[in-house]
Amino acid sequence: MKKSCWILLSSVIFLFSCSKDEETVVPDTSAEYAGLEVGKYVVFDVDSITYNDFDSSIDTASYQIKEMVDSKFTDLEGDEAFKLIRYRRDSATQNWLIIDVWTSKITLTNFQKTEENINYVKLIFPVREGKVWDGNSRNNSSTQDYEYTAVDQAEVIGGNTLAEVLTVLQYDSPDKLINPEFFEEKFAKGVGLVYKRSSSLVRADLNPTTPWLGYVVTMTLSTYGG
């Protein structure tokens, strides 16, 4: 009886060991949300609203921004990085004009993007809904908690059907009456940034006739390729 039990136990251990050895390791593909590959580009339709509390004026503008992954280089930290060239045109019939050169890179733990010489941690890896991190940890600004509020969601943005989209809430101010602020970005796997909303408004008091000061800028994916 003891011999039979020992044989049975040995068989169970053997089968368990084999199943562990044969476990499939699923690679983390979080970095694909950055869309960093030389030659890739994204074109955005941009809508801008600017509020001036001095004369109560409201100015609107619509134009296009194109971000192109131009080339690779080695940054000052010895890491592989990418040069991003940004273009603007006021209508689809005009030629593109270069407006900025930014940089970006992917590390084992995050995706960083330097905009106007300020480095932001746009994403952290692995991507998980509800994760929170300091988007300003690589610059001198105060702490700003970013959060994944949605991950791997199918969305239609600017008429483009995207199978896997994540949403990063960068800031949503609790003051909705005098100083509402809202910053959010969306990234699609294999594409990169596909949506961005930046809104910062303030007024002197709660009087509904008091004019606003600030801006609302929305960038929506138009086309992509590369």
CATH number for the domain that contains residue 76: 2.40.360
Task: Flag whether 114 is in a domain.
Answer: yes
Does 138 have pLDDT greater than 60?
yes
- pLDDT of the residue at 8: 40
Task: Flag whether 74 is in a domain.
Answer: yes
Q: Considering the chain, what is the average pLDDT of its residues?
A: 91
Does 132 have pLDDT greater than 50?
yes
Task: Flag whether 15 is in a domain.
Answer: no
HSE (CB half, 13 Å, CA atoms) of 165?
17
- pLDDT of the residue at 145: 98
pLDDT tens readout for residues 4-60: 444 443 444 444 444 444 455 556 889 999 999 999 999 999 999 999 999 999 999
Which of 103-107, 182-186, 199-203, 206-210 shows the lowest per-residue confidence on average (mean pLDDT)? Answer: 206-210
Total domains in the chain come to 1
> What is the percent of the chain where pLDDT is above 70?
88
> Residue 156: which residues within 8 A CB-CB, separation 6 or more?
162
Task: Flag whether 22 is in a domain.
Answer: no
Task: Flag whether 210 is in a domain.
Answer: yes
Q: What is the rounded distance in angstroms from the CA atom of residue 50 to the CA atom of residue 69?
A: 29
- Show the CA angle centred on residue 157, arms to residues 155 and 161, nearest 5°: 55
pLDDT tens readout for residues 164-188: 999 999 999 999 999 999 999 999 9
CB 167 within 8 A of CB 186: yes
Which of 17-21, 31-35, 134-138, 199-203 shows the lowest per-residue confidence on average (mean pLDDT)? Answer: 17-21
Task: Flag whether 134 is in a domain.
Answer: yes
- pLDDT of the residue at 18: 45
Domain range spanning residue 77? 29-225
**Average pLDDT value for residue range 188-203:** 98
> How remote is the C-alpha of 94 from its chain's centroid?
28
The pTM score is: 0.87
Task: Flag whether 204 is in a domain.
Answer: yes
Residue for token pair 């562990």? 20
Task: Flag whether 93 is in a domain.
Answer: yes
**Average pLDDT value for residue range 142-149:** 98
